[in-house]
Amino acid sequence: MSGSPGASERLFAQARALMPGGVSSPVRAFGHVGGTPRYIARGDGAYLWDEDGRKYLDFCLAWGPLILGHANPQVVEAVTKAAKDGLAFGAPHRLEVTLAELILSAYQPFERIRFVVSGTEAVMTAMRLARAHTGRPLILKFSGCYHGHADAMLVKAGSGVATLGLADSEGVTPTVAKDTLVAPLGDVGALEELFRVHGARLAAAFIEPLPANNGLLVQERRYLQALRAITQKHGALLVFDEVISGFRLGFHGYGLTVDVRPDLVTLGKIIGGGLPVGAVAGRAELLDRLAPAGRVYQAGTMSGNPVALAAGVACLEQLKTGEPYRRIAKAGEAMDAAFVGKQNLAFQLVRVGSVFWPYFDRSAPVPTRAEAISEDAIKGFRSRYQGWLEQGLYLPPSAYEVGFLSSAHEPAHVQQLVEALAGA
């Protein structure tokens, strides 16, 4: 093998001279796992090819949107047709109505939806709506949940069980951070104490009902139900951030899975079919506060972009048939079967439907709080990552990120993944 750098190395060197860290989003820089990020040339089904022509079985799937796999033919066809009709209008179009009907049919009894461009923007809009509806200033989030990079959500916990937040990023002012409370996941007592002290000033509680941005921190149904009861008691809204979990386990929201009805949901990823689409949905009395129906302002040149919404419609129309979920279920069953008879594994696998997380520490139960993730687990993932790449497997390049199954994954693909994770 020659000592000359490959295409990914050359491109990354160029990018670092042009872009902060050489990337458009931090985790892509491979800082967590070392080595050079792979520059991807194309994707098809369950596979990626990098600029050097190397092929990878992909379990990152663009961080979740590609539930149908890469370059799904129906999605590509819909995008191609829409692009030929025009890339942007800055005006209403019929695909807005079609996608709105599809999403709201899955999130009954919600009556309204506003399309934006990203999950972050959806969360920003939901915060503004909650404050306008309640007339209260404070927002509650939970340690280990991620809600995009809006200033008010880039906040970490201070000292104590549930406290006013501290800025977790430079550029977030103390004035903004003080309006965000942070509580630990899974602790009903902490919730009750927080609402006892701050409940009269709390506009909303934001939570990933299936926390999947800092490990896969599965919460008990009774905890989410307790959160629903406490927010209702104190007149605060409950917002489910379903940017990852929306349409992930079936043609519905995660609230159906845990028998909890939030007041608002924020959506992204899957509803765009691989293109940038975000949304906030809820009851008419809440959403109709948005301009032009109400006095809560939100606008965007690319909101409801026709090409992006065409991708979302093509994706959701396939999901609504149920067939992609049946294929994913078979892949999940194959994943479970692949572990039968395996002894002395270095990791524990957490899986909820098509979302999975290998946790490389067997000394304690899998954590349900971010604070409990061990350094051994992080080191275990990091030490193995380059080996997986060499075996032709592409997983999210961070021990804190989850992997995904798609309808393009076959049982044999999952068997290959399990063998690699097991070190066979």
Residues with active-site annotation: 146, 241, 269
Residue 287: exposed, middle, or buried by beta-carbon count in 10 A (0-12, 13-18, 19+)?
A: buried
Looking at this protein, which amino acid is placed at residue 29?
A
Contact 117, 278 (CB under 8 A): yes
Angle of the 188-198 helix axis to the 221-234 helix axis, nearest 10: 10
Question: How far apart (Å, rounded) are the C-alpha atoms in residues 4 and 208?
Answer: 45
- Give, in order, the Cα–Cα distances in Å from 407 to each of 323, 332, 402: 8, 10, 17
Q: Which residues contact 172 (CB under 8 A, 6 or more apart)?
A: 151, 154, 155
Question: Whose structure tokens read 């590609």?
Answer: 66
Contact 362, 217 (CB under 8 A): no
Question: How far apart (Å, rounded) are the C-alpha atoms in residues 222 and 291?
Answer: 36
- Give, in order, the Cα–Cα distances in Å from 418 to each of 8, 61, 71, 421: 27, 17, 25, 5
Question: How far apart (Å, rounded) are the C-alpha atoms in residues 382 and 395?
Answer: 11
Question: How far apart (Å, rounded) are the C-alpha atoms in residues 65 and 272?
Answer: 7
Tokens representing 201 are 């000033």
DSSP string, 59-128: SSGGGTT-TT-BT-HHHHHHHHHHHHH-S--SS--HHHHHHHHHHHHHSTT--EEEEESSHHHHHHHHHH
Report DSSP state, residue 29.
Answer: G
Looking at this protein, which amino acid is placed at residue 186?
G
Angle of the 323-338 helix axis to the 411-421 helix axis, nearest 10: 40
The DSSP element (H or E) to which 229 belongs, if any, is helix 221-234
